[in-house]
Amino acid sequence: MTTVTTSPRPAVQERSAGHVVPPCALVIFGAAGDLTKRKLIPALYNLARQKLLPDDFAIVGVARAALDDAGFRAQLAAEIARFVPGTFAPELWKWLESRVHYVAGNFSDAETFTALEKKLGELETSRWTRGNTLFYLATAPDFFGPIARMLRERGLADESHGRWRRIIVEKPFGRDLASAKALNAELLQALGEKQIYRIDHYLGKETVQNILVFRFANGIFEPIWNRRYVDHVQITVSETLGVEKRGGYYDRAGCLRDMVPNHIFQLISLVAMEPPISFAADAVRDEQSKVLRAIHAPTPEEVLHNAVRGQYGAGTIDGRNLVDYRAEQGVPPNSGTETFVAMKLAIDSWRWNGVPFYLRVGKALAARKTEITIRFRKPPLVLFRDTSIADLHPNDLVIHVQPKEGISLRFGAKIPGAQLKIGGVDMDFDYAEHFGATPATGYERLLYDAMQGDQTLFQRADMVEASWAVVDPVLDVWQALPPREFPNYRAGSWGPREADHLLELDGRSWRPVD
């Protein structure tokens, strides 16, 4: 394997990094949940470590548990060291902990919002937050609309007097197109689109953000990023874990709803979009939206041929024994919920006409990987027809998203010796090796951008609805035709055989995941 040698840069240019966020308060609804202690608080800790949080900053947790400021601080302090990436610095935590506050109450109770309004008023004086507030909805989706409505009714969404008020909404954003439209309408009754930040934590990963830089800041790739040179695109998002203790939630959602209209389609939109006129948030999202609206919504017949679903059975992964999905806690013994999805998609655009996009995503698979493969067309074999070379290796550009973050390019090279033989070699770029490992949870950039008012990495209402418009026909067919062969793949494998067959019908195969 060949490793790319890269020279250190005297400076790294970023769109907005390096500027301390303005004075503000972050309100976390659902603050007693795992997301807060595992991701949000550690991400804020890392932003403080990078000196990107102002002194005029406060955190307010809102949850039903009967706690006060001291109790909530103690609860976070007991576990923060476990979840902070890198070395834990007690003095830094002390700085952040002193800014943590708590409001106890039910999300549907007006008294909760009265108490929150009072707390935020106090923080304007004690922490000088200027009234700027970011509301993070780390709650069940059923609460998204009611919380937004209560914020409007209590005047907590009001942006008069020069202050800003914004809301971050976690996924899942709807269960289908109709519910996504209803939720968008409910949110937009309470806040303006400029105030709504629909979060997808995949876009917090460095490599995902780097797709735009890779494509549009390097003159060698964009000219060949089209149907003339690209044979097809593959996206693999595989997990080795089963559903574990989330069986109750997962069985209501399923793999298709859980992953495809958000994570997968965001990756596709970044890979396939046209160059934006600028890096302004709406300029970028305009081009992403065009891609999502250009994805061909399959007919029922096309669903039967171009979409594969699977459910894992018992197996072994890395020495761990996994039971059947149907034997997991909270899962019905006759569940027809899919834990694996593979699809072939077409983008009806000038750039991508005739270039299939294949995706596969699932749980209890052989390796934990997220990667995007751009496979280029093979050159003609004419030059080598009188040699021993019977085939030419395809050129693969692979964007590794997790767990390794980097980019690799596979090309052919002559193997040393008297005979003409070609071997495939890789040039690898690894983020950690070149730039150093930066402790991160994946939420740092997203929280930072939301406090800065940059919506580039957040979904817009039309993007959400365009994604569901493609997924809805698949949901309809799968609901009308319940699966009869589940479970149909072994835990620790690469999914059902039909997923391989999906590409074999086109004379292609999945890139081996290493």
**Residues with catalytic function:** 263
- Closest CA relative to residue 264, chosen from 180, 335, 203: 203
- Give the sign of the dihedral formed by CA 307, CA 313, CA 317, CA 322: positive
10 Å Cβ neighbour count for 313? 19
- Give the sign of the dihedral formed by CA 243, CA 244, CA 247, CA 252: negative
- Quick one: DSSP state of residue 385? T
Q: How far is Cα 512 from Cα 413, in angstroms, rounded to an integer? A: 20
Beta bridge partners of 313: 490
- Closest CA relative to residue 457, chosen from 198, 214, 138, 261: 198
Query: Angle at CA 342, nearest 5°, toward 336 and 344?
Result: 130
The token duo for 301 is 């017949």
Q: How far is Cα 422 from Cα 332, in angstroms, rounded to an integer? A: 53
Location of structure tokens 């294949």: 358
Tell me if 230 sits within 8 A of 374, measured CB to CB: yes
HSE, CB side, 13 Å, CA atoms: give it for residue 294. Answer: 23
Q: What is the tally of helices (H) and strands (E) in the chain?
A: 17, 19
10 Å Cβ neighbour count for 110? 12
